Structure 1
Amino acid sequence: MKERIEESVFVQRGAMNQAQFDEKFDYNKPHLENEIKKQAKKFVKRFYEPFTSFVAFKLFILDLIPILKWFPEYKWKSDLTLDIVGGITVGVMQVPQGIAYALLARQPAINGLYASLFPPLIYMIFGTSRHSSIGTFAILSLMTGISVERLTASDDIILSSNETDTTIYPTPTEVSCAITITMGIILFVMGILRLHFLTTYLSDQVIAGFTVGSSVHVLVSQLKTILGIRGLPRHSGPFYLFRHLYDLATNIGRVNFVSLGISLISIVILVCGKKIVNPCIKRATKIDIPIPWELVIVILSTIFVAVSGVDSTSKVQIVNKIPVGVPEVSLPPFHLITKVFPDAISITVVGVSVWLSISKMLAKKMNYQLDSGQELFALSITSITSSFIPTIPISCSLSRTLVAVGAGCATQLSIFFSSIVVFSVVFFLGSLLATLPMVTEIRFSKKLIIIQAALSAIIVVALEGMFKKFADLGDLWKVSKIDFMIWVVSCVFTVALDVSYGLFISVGFALFTTILREQYPKWHLLASVKGTQDFRDAERYGESMYFKGICIFRFDAPLLFHNVECFKKSVDKAYLEWQKSHEFYVLREERDTILSPKLEDSEGSSDEKTNQTAQLSINTQSPDILSRHFVVDCSGFTFIDLMGVSALKEIFSDLRKRGILVYFANAKAPVRDMFEKCHFFKFVPKENFYPTMRDATSIARQRQLESVLMRQSLFYSSIITD
């Protein structure tokens, strides 16, 4: 039995203007009030629709808590081993990075371990990304540390505590928890209002330049700990980085060579282990599970300090104690939210932008769906709940994520196994890190505790991936000069000013370049591609042809207040270019072709012929039927404002004074609605608007033919009369 295939038959319609087209095909204009009601109803519907039926409520719960959807369908045979191996590998990295990044945020080391344990478990329940490693992140830790230094008591205040009440200042943990819950609230509001699209304003170049610039801040912040220089003053605000470098340079004679030695040895071990040893082991064993050299460094440095007693001989202070057991649960300091809110906005923007960009990239690569709205909700719940324990703001770590992908993590269940590793350290093995040298300056009982050089080395080596992005600048310059400038400006201002200032300046500059691109867009003269009904840029297609007396112009940008002058100048340039071409003089060619034989056959004096030619010239300039046509392709006008409408009126009036009829084609419905609101159709008849370029050019050529026939008729009438 042959299958019956139904084919759609398209009937070629005749040329028509926009008004005829809308009438024939029943165009319905949406009403603004109905559209507003529709959008409002759609927004409210999202909140009550889950409670309209049992099925809707079930689907709502499954979307709200994705683990209920993917865990029952978990592939135990194929994915369990991968998740166990990958999770343990990531967990081993979480421990040293959690400690190091906590101290970078001016927090007790245990806070970083808490941030590596509880937030990932909460995210595993609500998140949709299968590979992104949530936890501590160097850039957020640095930004948190800057806020902590600004709001907490300085070293000088602590030293004079017998005269000053230091209780009026919040503790570092209180500031960190306040930032964390504020971050969660901001993310929750963004999720409710579906504002995840705002992260698109942070382009890849903005993020890349900003992260590299922030990495410079992280690197400089670790120099004093690597060199073992103590007692340097705090600096904040614009250009603080250079003041800090000046202090380091003037105090270079106070270098602690033990700390410097530990740092250099740790860096050498980390680099050689990752670049030489791990690749060799991978080639030999065919197993893509790297040795966790960060943990090796922590263990070796801890054993060294415990055995050698260097903490007493070289004045290298140690942690002495990492709390073991369940963290203390308390309400976050709500009274600090107003003080940390500006910093929390910057931290939130950076954290969610890095998270979504990495998660989307991996989801696309691994061929699964990522729900950006649900991700905002998951991160908000994670941040809000974790703020009830001592913690630091969390996001996605690129280095751990790449390790997770390389180790073969298949689902979110790998988070559970990585948390087991961190759990064992937090609840059982914390006492083994008692001799761990510290990595940030904290005064306690008037003693200066020095950062652990090894942890500083871990932070510095972890920045290698960030600094590798400098290698992309060459290709970026070749592809786009503007994107190159966005990258450079983002990096330079982040380094020169401050992390927060750099972020907002970077976003502002990126948006400014968008305005510049729209202010000076390209314009084109279009021509018909031979053998088709398509109209394309004439300079790009050799197999194209112009129509005599018809100029087709396109402006590739929304027509808004900032580029209307550029639009009018572009029209003038297009007109001058058209005027210089042979296609502009269609009337003279038509006159010579049609009338020359008749003039040769007619008998009469030269004066009579002159009169006939003069009469023809008068008819040629008749305003009723014009033979030159200027077609504006409105397909590039995605938006138009009041000044844009005024600009179209000006060019319409100016070209009509030159004896040229102006057409508008391919105007989008919202643009035509704007024309109607501005009463544009009272100035330019609707008959001058056409749904396609084919309609506009067909009508123009038809009118040219009518003009020729009318002149021919007038000529014959004049001969008969004579």
Structure 2
Amino acid sequence: MAPPGRINHARHLSEAEEEAENYLEHFYNKSEPNKRRVSFVQRGAMNQAQFDEKFDYNKPHLENELKKQAKKFVRRFYEPFTSFFALKLFIFDLIPILKWFPEYKWKTDLSLDIIGGITVGVMQVPQGIAYALLAKQPAINGLYTSLFPPLIYMLFGTSRHASLGTFAVVSLMTGLSVEKLAAPTDYDPSSFNETDIDLVKLPSPTEVSCAITITMGLILFVMGVLRLQFLTTYLSDQVIAGFTVGSSVHVLVSQLKTLLGIRGLPRHSGPFYLFRHLYDLVMSITRANPVSCGISIVSIIVLHFGKEFINPFIKRKTKSNIPIPWELVIVILSTVFVAVTGVDTEAKVQVVNKIPVGVPNFSLPSFYLIPQVLPDAISITVVSISVWLSISKMLAKRYNYELDSGQELFALSFASISSSFIPSIPNSCSLSRTLVAVGAGCTTQLSIFFSSLIVFSVVIFLGTLLETLPMAALSAIICVALQGMFRKFADLIDLWKVSKIDFTIWVVSCVSTILLDVSTGLIISVCFALFTTILREQYPKWHLLASVKGTQDFRDAERYGETVYFKGICIFRFDAPLLFHNVECFKKSIEKAYTEWQKSHEFYVLREERETILNTKLDGSDESIDGKMFQTAQSTLNTHSPDILSRHFVIDCSGFTFIDLMGVSALKEIFSDMRKRGILVYFANAKAPVREMFEKCHFFNFVSKENFYPTMRDATSIARQRQLELGFKDTGYVPEHDRLTEVLSSHPM
């Protein structure tokens, strides 16, 4: 159908077919002059049934397909034991270090891995201590998490750069769960009295943390066995970005009391707890510790200027990607300051206190806590694995190596399960450490060994030196590390320009996480993102198509100027699966397309037909074209076989990737309504699963298979042949100035 303003450029089928045939003949002769090729023109136009019969279409059996998939799933478990070679491949895939370590390039990669590993290890120490306190755990638990899980991952993982260990958002979520289930961290069992009997029954923060860790490991293991890593795709980049920024707000607010040196604030949980916490903080501002405030301010200034100005300046001058570890600088300077001045006792500055040294104690995790921590563990697992896979895949693609997502689930599972037998917290990927590892030149997983040596030295020998480390300095490290998260607000302007829906997903994810809770915000974010997908399918775009000049293609008529329009033939496409939630939209789109088709000259196949309808309108009749007036005009003009109609409506089914019973019912309704209007409906480009659905629903008993065509060219050619059988002459449209017609066309029909 020709859109308004382009009707004079309409061309007709005979000319288009001639141009297309000449084009194809010229192309084939030019590209392969000595080889005869089969083209569309040579096979001739045919319907879908003829096409399937000619080219031997075979319908796959659903039962056989299900058996095939079931056998494939079961075969994964017994296939490694069918031969020695299969068992060897299975072991090498399960333990990737057996593959890459024998091929390690000692001369070129060792020095880079040593430098990169030491750089990451230096960052692991302050971050491990700080994020452990964020998770409401003893400082040493963060160091254990930075030491043992990465070593386990080195054996089983396939990512060469991702840094496993503590992560701010995961630590925050762990801390919130610990606050709900564990006894307060400042509770002293030696001061027991009868009113504290409920606190005695509560598990310790470490027990809750280890229970979350092993539950997380079991969830990852089940996901690995069932190959469920695809579930992480439901967390889009906008969901993760908005959620992490919202979680960062929680992290920042949770550190304000430590930055100010305020103690004894009540604990809150549940929706809107953040605002209750801020209210308590404001009401207690007079209790702020001046020395803690001073340590916080100086630490933030040093960290900010060091990272933002000094490190880039040194990088430009030295051409080195190894940054100065300002976190470690702050840890050393603040620890020395407190030890020399004694402000921890005089000014009551809160410090880390005792950090045990030596090998950690091994014990079984509290399995009875698994049902209680399961909901929080699922949320933590989803966030952890989504962040991990997104970063790991990005780096693997950038540095051109293969990342096995399924094996990553097993690697993280083994790391979590093994670390739950020692005091630890749930682990994940840290973007800041990963970027430092990449910048420092890490090339393989061996860099984890050298970073672990740094953490190991602190755990075994140097832990006692950090007993006077002020908590305010650790909070400053956490807050400065969040500045990269908050910079994502600047990306919202570009996101709004690119996609309004993605912008909305980001905002809803961030706001819901801030207002309600971290776990609740994650659920709302995922549900809203899925809802937008349904919403986009519920109100999809629809188009009227036209043949592109000189080709066999049909494209959107409003986007291409060099198009060919067919009189009496309307081509319609609906760009979405036809399901229950958009059936009404589909039917309305058909009506809009039909109305627009009526307004064009292509709607009138015969000149006499158009004049009959106009004369009827001039008689003062208020009936629409869809009523008795049209049927009368049609019966007058159709002197030939009543089974062959001169007006044809072609539905391009290429957008119907899925269809349900309501969709099938809607097509029946459209077909019936169009036939009442004297219009024959064609279905083209229907995919095989959609046609099989039609067969199951007995759709072909209502609409004959002869109305289905494999391509748009088949449908339009058959429609044209039927028009010619009615005596339709393919004459070009000659524009004429008819004032009366012009006035009528400007008013509603």
- Alpha-carbon distance, 1:156 to partner: 9.3
Aligned equivalent of 2:430, options 386, 390, 397: 397
- Alpha-carbon distance, 1:7 to partner: 6.6
Query: Is the Cα–Cα contact under 8 Å of residues 196 and 373 in structure 1 kept in the other structure?
Result: yes
Query: Partner letter of residue 575 of structure 2?
Result: D
Query: Partner letter of residue 112 of structure 2?
Result: L
- Alpha-carbon distance, 1:710 to partner: 11
Query: Partner letter of residue 17 of structure 1?
Result: N
- Alpha-carbon distance, 1:10 to partner: 2.9
Q: What are the equivalent positions in structure 2 for 1:73-84 lying under 5 Å apart?
A: 73-84=103-114
Query: Is the Cα–Cα contact under 8 Å of residues 509 and 525 in structure 2 kept in the other structure?
Result: yes
- The 3-state SS of whatever aligns with 1:261 is helix
Q: Distance in 2 between matches of 1:99 and 1:492?
A: 29
Residue 639 of structure 1 pairs with residue 658 of structure 2: yes
CA distance 1:545–1:228, change in 2 (3 Å)? same
Q: What are the equivalent positions in structure 2 for 1:54-69 lying under 5 Å apart?
A: 54-69=84-99
CA distance 1:614–1:38, change in 2 (3 Å)? closer
1:307 equivalent in structure 2: 340
- The 3-state SS of whatever aligns with 2:717 is helix
- Alpha-carbon distance, 1:415 to partner: 0.7
1:514 equivalent in structure 2: 533
Q: Distance in 2 between matches of 1:584 and 1:615?
A: 13
Aligned equivalent of 2:145, options 99, 115, 127: 115
Aligned equivalent of 2:128, options 85, 91, 98: 98
- Alpha-carbon distance, 1:614 to partner: 9.4
Residue 587 of structure 1 pairs with residue 617 of structure 2: no
Q: Distance in 2 between matches of 1:108 and 1:62?
A: 38
2:101 equivalent in structure 1: 71
Q: Distance in 2 between matches of 1:622 and 1:225?
A: 89
Q: Distance in 2 between matches of 1:158 and 1:5?
A: 92
Q: CA RMSD for the aligned pairs? A: 2.0
Aligned equivalent of 1:378, options 411, 415, 435: 411
Query: Is the Cα–Cα contact under 8 Å of residues 623 and 659 in structure 1 kept in the other structure?
Result: no
Q: What are the equivalent positions in structure 2 for 1:495-534 lying under 5 Å apart?
A: 495-534=514-553
Query: Partner letter of residue 248 of structure 1?
Result: L
TM-score by length of 1: 0.91
Q: What are the equivalent positions in structure 2 for 1:465-544 lying under 5 Å apart?
A: 465-544=484-563
Q: Distance in 1 between matches of 2:462 and 2:116?
A: 21
- Alpha-carbon distance, 1:240 to partner: 0.2
Q: Distance in 2 between matches of 1:338 and 1:90?
A: 36
- The 3-state SS of whatever aligns with 1:625 is coil
Count how many residue pairs are aligned between Structure 1 and Structure 2: 674
- Alpha-carbon distance, 1:588 to partner: 2.6
- Alpha-carbon distance, 1:232 to partner: 0.3
Q: What are the equivalent positions in structure 2 for 1:589-604 lying under 5 Å apart?
A: none
Query: Is the Cα–Cα contact under 8 Å of residues 621 and 659 in structure 1 kept in the other structure?
Result: no
- The 3-state SS of whatever aligns with 1:552 is strand
1:43 equivalent in structure 2: 73
CA distance 1:121–1:295, change in 2 (3 Å)? same
TM-score by length of 2: 0.88
- Alpha-carbon distance, 1:621 to partner: 7.7
Query: Is the Cα–Cα contact under 8 Å of residues 605 and 728 in structure 2 kept in the other structure?
Result: no
Query: Is the Cα–Cα contact under 8 Å of residues 136 and 185 in structure 2 kept in the other structure?
Result: no
What stretches of structure 1 move > 4 A for 4+ residues in a row? Answer: 4-8, 155-160, 589-592, 613-616
Query: Is the Cα–Cα contact under 8 Å of residues 365 and 420 in structure 2 kept in the other structure?
Result: yes
Q: Distance in 2 between matches of 1:643 and 1:354?
A: 39
2:118 equivalent in structure 1: 88
1:557 equivalent in structure 2: 576
1:443 equivalent in structure 2: none
Query: Partner letter of residue 465 of structure 1?
Result: G
Residue 30 of structure 1 pairs with residue 49 of structure 2: no
Query: Is the Cα–Cα contact under 8 Å of residues 580 and 662 in structure 2 kept in the other structure?
Result: yes
Aligned equivalent of 1:9, options 22, 37, 43: 37
- Alpha-carbon distance, 1:167 to partner: 3.3
- Alpha-carbon distance, 1:590 to partner: 8.9
2:361 equivalent in structure 1: 328
Query: Is the Cα–Cα contact under 8 Å of residues 128 and 375 in structure 1 kept in the other structure?
Result: yes
Query: Is the Cα–Cα contact under 8 Å of residues 609 and 637 in structure 2 kept in the other structure?
Result: no
Deviations 1:38-85 (A, max 9, x none): 110111111111111122111111111111111111111111111111
- Alpha-carbon distance, 1:686 to partner: 0.5
CA distance 1:615–1:22, change in 2 (3 Å)? closer
1:652 equivalent in structure 2: 671
Aligned equivalent of 1:127, options 137, 157, 162: 157
- Alpha-carbon distance, 1:587 to partner: 2.4
Deviations 1:150-199 (A, max 9, x none): 00124797697311334311000000000000001111111111111111
Q: Distance in 2 between matches of 1:467 and 1:521?
A: 34
Q: Distance in 2 between matches of 1:73 and 1:395?
A: 28
2:628 equivalent in structure 1: none
Deviations 1:283-326 (A, max 9, x none): 22111100000001001111111111111110124333211111
Aligned equivalent of 2:372, options 339, 356, 366: 339
Query: Is the Cα–Cα contact under 8 Å of residues 67 and 125 in structure 1 kept in the other structure?
Result: yes
Residue 262 of structure 1 pairs with residue 295 of structure 2: yes
Q: Distance in 1 between matches of 2:325 and 2:90?
A: 40
Query: Partner letter of residue 330 of structure 2?
Result: I
Q: What are the equivalent positions in structure 2 for 1:148-163 lying under 5 Å apart?
A: 148-154=178-184, 161-163=192-194
Q: Distance in 2 between matches of 1:51 and 1:654?
A: 62
Residue 416 of structure 1 pairs with residue 468 of structure 2: no
- Alpha-carbon distance, 1:668 to partner: 0.6
Q: Share of identical aligned residues, percent?
A: 82
2:251 equivalent in structure 1: 218
Q: Distance in 2 between matches of 1:112 and 1:8?
A: 72
Q: Any stretches of 5+ residues in structure 1 without a counterpart?
A: 438-451, 593-612, 712-722
1:600 equivalent in structure 2: none
Q: Any stretches of 5+ residues in structure 2 without a counterpart?
A: 1-31, 612-631, 731-749
Q: What are the equivalent positions in structure 2 for 1:347-362 lying under 5 Å apart?
A: 347-362=380-395
Residue 675 of structure 1 pairs with residue 697 of structure 2: no
2:22 equivalent in structure 1: none
CA distance 1:157–1:426, change in 2 (3 Å)? closer
1:619 equivalent in structure 2: 638
Query: Partner letter of residue 503 of structure 1?
Result: L
Aligned equivalent of 2:48, options 6, 18, 21: 18
Query: Partner letter of residue 559 of structure 2?
Result: R
Q: Distance in 2 between matches of 1:615 and 1:494?
A: 62
2:316 equivalent in structure 1: 283
Deviations 1:612-650 (A, max 9, x none): x99992534852111111010000000000000000000
- Alpha-carbon distance, 1:677 to partner: 0.6
Aligned equivalent of 1:167, options 200, 206, 209: 200
Query: Partner letter of residue 119 of structure 1?
Result: P
Q: Distance in 1 between matches of 2:396 and 2:237?
A: 17
- Alpha-carbon distance, 1:8 to partner: 8.2
Aligned equivalent of 1:248, options 260, 276, 281: 281
Q: Distance in 1 between matches of 2:81 and 2:566?
A: 62
CA distance 1:621–1:218, change in 2 (3 Å)? farther
Aligned equivalent of 2:210, options 177, 182, 186: 177
Query: Is the Cα–Cα contact under 8 Å of residues 682 and 709 in structure 2 kept in the other structure?
Result: yes
Q: Which moved more, 1:101-110 or 1:65-74?
A: 65-74
1:448 equivalent in structure 2: none
Query: Is the Cα–Cα contact under 8 Å of residues 590 and 708 in structure 1 kept in the other structure?
Result: no
